[in-house]
């Protein structure tokens, strides 16, 4: 589908200046295309006014779209019109005053510490290269909180030195340093040694069937589902992001603070990290119950 030339300029800016990933680019493009389809030629995206854009948002609600998707569409429009405002192509942001849909509060899904231990044991009981991949993946994800895209982008020599930290380039090209565990480095070394036995050198620590390419997210997710079943855990409860949530939740439960966790996770805004405050609340409740002189 063709799209407004101003929208094309906005999307190009996302990639060139903000380092937007392919998935981010595609999501913004789809959101803008959807709004343009609603306008139906009555107005261009550039010329759309507040009443028309409010009608678009109302149509999303009427269609039964989730509040989260509505919020994402409105956020995309806000960013787009803010770009036009800054570029001098509009004198206003027509969606600035539109209310953001109220999102239901949802706690992050995470595994217990014993369940993570069961996963690791089940992975170690597997055989062959897939086993080494899933062991290394579990060890690294759980000990670092990496996003799966960051994990699969690790070069072949990652975690191969005595360095105590790993330098990761995350969303928007932002770099952060993450402490490394000895078990994660050992698992990476075992995987690297097994991959090195192939006829062609791998470019990535987690190579795909073609060793010149990284393993796909889908391929890694399938490995996680297999090890979950072996560990007696519902595969629907396990994903790379659940391991990231587990990393964060367990760190807080053992005394980490939100600011430190924000840096480790690579969140640009502390409000994103605050989804884990339920863990802090639980810890404080146990502290009061266990140590307050009037606790029953």
Which residues have a catalytic role annotated? 147, 171, 241, 244, 267, 276
The 3-state DSSP composition of the chain as helix, strand, coil percent (nearest 5) reads: 60, 5, 35
Assigned token pair, 283: 């810890």
Calculate the alpha carbon distances from 90 to 45, 53, 94, 279 in Å: 11, 15, 9, 45
Burial label for 240, CB within 10 Å (0-12, 13-18, 19+), is: buried
Please check whether residue 184 is in contact with residue 144, taking contact to mean a CB–CB distance below 8 angstroms. Answer: yes
Assigned token pair, 55: 């009608």
- Alpha helix locations (H) across 4-66? 5-18, 22-39, 50-62
Q: What b-and-e string marks burial along 261-291, b requiring 16 or more CB atoms within 10 Å of the CB?
A: bbebbbbeeeeebebbeebbeeeeeeeeeee
User: 167 pairs with which residues across the strands?
Assistant: 177
Assigned token pair, 43: 């107005």
- CA–CA separation, 258 and 264 (whole Å): 10
Assigned token pair, 53: 């854009």
Helix (H, G, I), strand (E, B) or coil at 267: coil
The H or E element that residue 165 is part of is strand 165-169
The CB density around residue 6, as the number of other CB atoms within 10 Å, is 20
Assigned token pair, 271: 């409000």
């Amino acid at each position: 589908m063709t799209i407004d030339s101003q929208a094309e300029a906005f999307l190009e800016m996302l990639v060139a200046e903000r380092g937007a990933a392919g998935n981010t680019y595609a999501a913004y493009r789809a959101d803008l295309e959807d709004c343009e389809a609603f306008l139906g030629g009555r107005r261009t995206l550039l010329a759309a006014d507040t009443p028309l854009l409010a009608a678009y948002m109302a149509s999303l609600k009427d269609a039964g779209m989730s509040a989260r998707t509505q919020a994402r569409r409105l956020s995309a429009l806000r960013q787009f019109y803010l770009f036009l405002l800054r570029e001098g192509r509009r004198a206003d942001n027509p969606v600035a005053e539109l209310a953001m849909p109220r999102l239901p509060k949802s706690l992050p899904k995470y595994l217990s510490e014993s369940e993570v231990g069961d996963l690791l044991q089940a992975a170690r009981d597997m055989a062959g290269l897939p086993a080494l991949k899933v062991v290394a993946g579990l060890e690294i994800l759980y000990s670092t909180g990496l996003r799966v895209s960051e994990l699969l982008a690790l070069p072949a020599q990652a975690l191969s030195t005595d360095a105590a930290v790993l330098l990761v380039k995350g969303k928007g090209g932002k770099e952060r340093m993450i402490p490394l565990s000895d078990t994660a480095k050992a698992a990476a070394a075992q995987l690297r040694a097994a991959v090195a036995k192939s006829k062609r050198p791998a470019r990535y620590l987690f190579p795909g069937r073609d060793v010149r390419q990284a393993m796909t997210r889908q391929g890694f997710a399938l490995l996680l589902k297999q090890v979950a079943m072996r560990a007696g855990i519902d595969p629907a409860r396990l994903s790379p992001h659940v391991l990231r949530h587990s990393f964060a939740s367990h760190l807080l439960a053992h005394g980490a603070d939100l600011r430190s966790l924000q840096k480790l996770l690579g969140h640009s805004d502390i409000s994103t990290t605050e989804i884990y405050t339920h863990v802090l609340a639980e810890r404080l409740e146990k502290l009061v119950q266990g140590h307050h002189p009037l606790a029953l």
